Amino acid sequence: MSTHTPLSGKTAIITGSNSGIGLGVAHELAKAGANIVLNSFTDRDEDHQLAKDMAKEHGVEVRYIKADMSKSDDCRALIETAGACDILVNNAGIQHVAPIDDFPVEKWNAILAINLSSAFHTTAAALPMMRKAGWGRVINIASAHGLTASPYKSAYVAAKHGIVGLTKVTALETAEEPITCNAVCPGYVLTPLVEAQIPDTMKQYNMDRDTVIREVLLDRQPSKQFATVEELGGTCVFLASDYAKQITGTTISVDGGWTAL
């Protein structure tokens, strides 16, 4: 259990947090003392067990709330059911890779709903609670693809550029209040979302797994390393801390130099 708990007494809601970056962010915020609301669209025993284990590990309250971030009513219900929201991390995201003229419309709609519109709905529901509490942090997990583009990722790139825009508007609308809104832009992190792309990329380029990692994924990152979910979580802890209270409306890249190229 952590002894340095700057976020003690705060409630953090992290959308899409039963795996990958969301789960890593939840652990780091819990370590910093925040009570946690985990979320996904599933409702498995493992999801609730995850919450119990995290509570035990960090000595904070952890709840799991099922809500489908592709549905506006669920997004708003997540915040209302939680009952408090000091720190909102909009993290839920999916990916699909295909050329524009062969991109399934239902995938386009799902990516825009989950990766972008959900953040609009949760933020709209959370801001009144933050105003009432007199303190708030909105942290949007965007991407290096919110600042740059890649072919075949039209919906993902559009949604991530959109969330960077939404971040700036949220920051401007709350600028005179003790509320900040920023976007974190990861490069590649080896999570289930990226793992799922590797087999197709292996087939597409006739490469083995190691070569895909080295020559396709890490080729974009001058550091030649993946960021970790703990590093992403640490960035969120910083943005939630009082050190960052004048940081609003900006993007923080955690991408090993990708967007410096």
CB contact set of 99 (below 8 Å; sequence gap of 6+): 151, 152
CA separation for the pair 225, 20 (Å, rounded):
17
User: Exactly one of 7, 12, 17, 197 binds ligand NAD (CB under 6 A); which one?
Assistant: 17
Q: How far is the CB of 185 from ligand NAD (least distance, A)?
A: 7
CA separation for the pair 195, 191 (Å, rounded):
6
- CA-based nearest residue to 131, from 183, 170, 74, 165: 170
User: Exactly one of 91, 117, 174, 251 binds ligand NAD (CB under 6 A); which one?
Assistant: 91
Instruction: DSSP letter for 214, please.
Output: I
- Residue 197-236 contact track with ligand NAD, rule CB under 6 A, x = bound: ----------------------------------------
Which amino acid would we find at residue 171?
A: A
State which residue, 107 or 131, has the beta carbon closest to ligand NAD.
107
User: Binding to ligand NAD by residue 116, rule CB under 6 A?
Assistant: no
CB-CB neighbours of 260 under 10 Å = 8
User: Exactly one of 188, 218, 240, 256 binds ligand NAD (CB under 6 A); which one?
Assistant: 188
User: Binding to ligand NAD by residue 141, rule CB under 6 A?
Assistant: yes
User: Exactly one of 7, 50, 82, 93 binds ligand NAD (CB under 6 A); which one?
Assistant: 93
Instruction: DSSP letter for 16, please.
Output: S
Beta bridge partners of 35: 11
User: Binding to ligand NAD by residue 186, rule CB under 6 A?
Assistant: yes
Tell me whether residue 243 is one of the annotated catalytic residues. no
Which active-site residues does the annotation give?
156
